Structure 1
């Protein structure tokens, strides 16, 4: 969870001996154990870890943060299915956090200065239920890692279009965010839509992408050649990440980073579809394959019924 001041990741990487590294970590651990401030904070549950600073330090360490993204991208088929490119190590860094359930942003708050509440972070494949992702998340872009004029953020579900896996469902798209600004200064092409994994479809991947670019980009609705999705409202959100990038002449390996979480059905999905969208909920059920004993029993019953059938 990060290192104390004076012992940065760069200092530890310069230590050639693993034994010396273990001694330093043991000394830091003993020091923290006898620190009265940390002890008091742990006892009264008041210790707060600066997640953004820890994430930024972890990301700048190429041996841990960026290589972790490379492995996760390969495992979840981000490069192969969505970006359709060779695996690469992302450069940009950004954090995505969801506010707690039932939280409503006040007029005094802004995207640059959110309230001090417990946020649920989007990491690299953690599970977040739809009820916890019902409201628009907070996105913090680290502009110090690139020199482009604009940035764009979008959220896509590669498992949402059940009829054809080459298409996705676009849940959010904010383009052309000026350098140094927040998402409120960008162009909202698609309003945020909460995750809607249907009953019986298992875990869905929800991927946040950060694009860095120098020229303003445009968005054109993707027309699917396959049949319509089970919900007609999803037709206007059919999307292809690779086509969107190629239309804007964006090379993924140079300027695209990602975060992702997984989500599966809960009761809030049914409530949202019925009460908000006023539509029936799609229901999928897995057909359990028959065992060898069941297949044999069915064949015997079929033979007997044919043998003693009255003609």
Structure 2
């Protein structure tokens, strides 16, 4: 029996790692999983539910042979132009920005938009594993009523006060085609975090005449709540195979907010055989004062406000003789902060005279001597005030 216990103890000690006369806890590396194996286990995702699916329109095939030859000729011509080279060297070469944007939209623009939308999680929160490349350029412009327009790009910031009315929407299309335009808020639902609000839904749009389409859901301005950061609002343009009658309740501007509850993924799955996403534009917005006015005047309800609730700092019971603690700092822990700020404010106002210029600040604050009989804690206190450190800045 004793030999058996000795053998088990010896085997146990052999499995233990001993480093610098200290036993290291856990199994030896030869018996443990590698970091890669552990990370693969933690980050495992089922391919059936994570494989991304392109649900958009295919890219239109265009003949590139002639363009490739013309581009080579164009490059050779530019290289042979000495005047053009001198302008480029001196940073005086001007280009047509509209032509540059048009070239970008016809080449790398749709892929760039798709990458930005992926970065902001737009496709993930709209369609789950689905995505699409917005080959059709969707232009959305908000009229600021001062002769200027605010465009919606891919994630730019637009305040709620700038998007009070529905925008102007433009895109290239044939008059014989039908389209559906949807605007949803990806982060704004008040009660259910996995759902959205549909802010605008227009169906059966002939060509690019949005005003001639069937408005199923009237436009609702953005309503990001205070304290919730930035909210994403996405415009998605769908191409229809024919005229549709969506099974969606008509929502007007006077309808309650609950009627706008929407889930893009479920809605698209229902009509995926009749519609295909083609264009995308989205923006971000955060709270401003017009949101409060909307809740009070339109919804006739109190505005929800989210704030951080920081617990009060814990202070241990006072001691008769606190050791190794600054006297003033220790006592201020148990005083009313308003009283402390009042003392600092009175100290500031003591030397203020509305009819005299304020005295110049000390050029070398630390070089000014303190009285010899001043206690050390008070010296530190005065030094902080001279240097502008600590609570003196809170007043």
Compute the TM-score of the two structures, normalised by the length of structure 1. 0.66
Higher relative contact order (CA 8 A, sep 6+): 1
Are positions 1:220 and 2:247 aligned together? yes
SS of residue in 2 equivalent to 1:93: coil
Please give the alpha-carbon distance, in whole angstroms, between the structure 2 residues aligned to 1:196 and 1:216.
32
Equivalent residue number for residue 112 of structure 1:
none
Q: Deviations over 1:192-250 (max 9, x none)?
A: 1100111111100000010011222333349xxxxxxxxx9211000111112111124
Equivalent residue number for residue 159 of structure 2:
129
| Residues 272-291 of structure 1: pairs in structure 2 closer than 5 A | 272-288=294-310
Unaligned runs of 5+ in 1: 1-9, 39-47, 104-116, 223-231, 302-311
Q: Does the CA contact (< 8 Å) of 1:158 and 1:165 recur in 2? A: no
Q: Deviations over 1:145-188 (max 9, x none)?
A: xx972111111001011432321011001111113x41111000
Q: Specify whether residues 277 and 72 from structure 1 end up closer, same or farther in structure 2 by C-alpha distance, changes over 3 A only.
A: same
Are positions 1:77 and 2:121 aligned together? yes
Note the C-alpha offset of 1:118.
1.4
Equivalent residue number for residue 306 of structure 1:
none
From 221, 236, 241, the equivalent of 2:264 is 241
Q: Specify whether residues 96 and 71 from structure 1 end up closer, same or farther in structure 2 by C-alpha distance, changes over 3 A only.
A: same
Please give the alpha-carbon distance, in whole angstroms, between the structure 2 residues aligned to 1:67 and 1:165.
29
Equivalent residue number for residue 235 of structure 2:
208
Q: Specify whether residues 76 and 21 from structure 1 end up closer, same or farther in structure 2 by C-alpha distance, changes over 3 A only.
A: farther
Please give the alpha-carbon distance, in whole angstroms, between the structure 2 residues aligned to 1:125 and 1:219.
29
Q: Does the CA contact (< 8 Å) of 1:148 and 1:214 recur in 2? A: no
Are positions 1:119 and 2:146 aligned together? no
Note the C-alpha offset of 1:274.
1.3
Q: Which runs of 4+ in 1 moved over 6 A?
A: 10-13, 18-25
From 286, 293, 299, the equivalent of 1:264 is 286
Q: Does the CA contact (< 8 Å) of 2:176 and 2:206 recur in 1? A: no
From 196, 200, 212, the equivalent of 2:223 is 196
Please give the alpha-carbon distance, in whole angstroms, between the structure 2 residues aligned to 1:13 and 1:73.
33
Note the C-alpha offset of 1:28.
6.2
Equivalent residue number for residue 160 of structure 1:
188
SS of residue in 1 equivalent to 2:301: coil
Equivalent residue number for residue 136 of structure 2:
92
Deviates further, 189-198 or 255-264: 255-264
Q: Deviations over 1:12-44 (max 9, x none)?
A: 99459x999899886665799488xx9xxxxxx
Unaligned runs of 5+ in 2: 1-66, 250-254, 318-395
Q: Specify whether residues 13 and 60 from structure 1 end up closer, same or farther in structure 2 by C-alpha distance, changes over 3 A only.
A: farther
Note the C-alpha offset of 1:273.
1.8
Please give the alpha-carbon distance, in whole angstroms, between the structure 1 residues aligned to 2:292 and 2:70.
50
From 171, 183, 198, the equivalent of 2:199 is 171
Please give the alpha-carbon distance, in whole angstroms, between the structure 2 residues aligned to 1:288 and 1:205.
27
Please give the alpha-carbon distance, in whole angstroms, between the structure 2 residues aligned to 1:22 and 1:251.
50
CA RMSD in angstroms, aligned pairs only: 3.8
Q: Does the CA contact (< 8 Å) of 2:135 and 2:279 recur in 1? A: yes
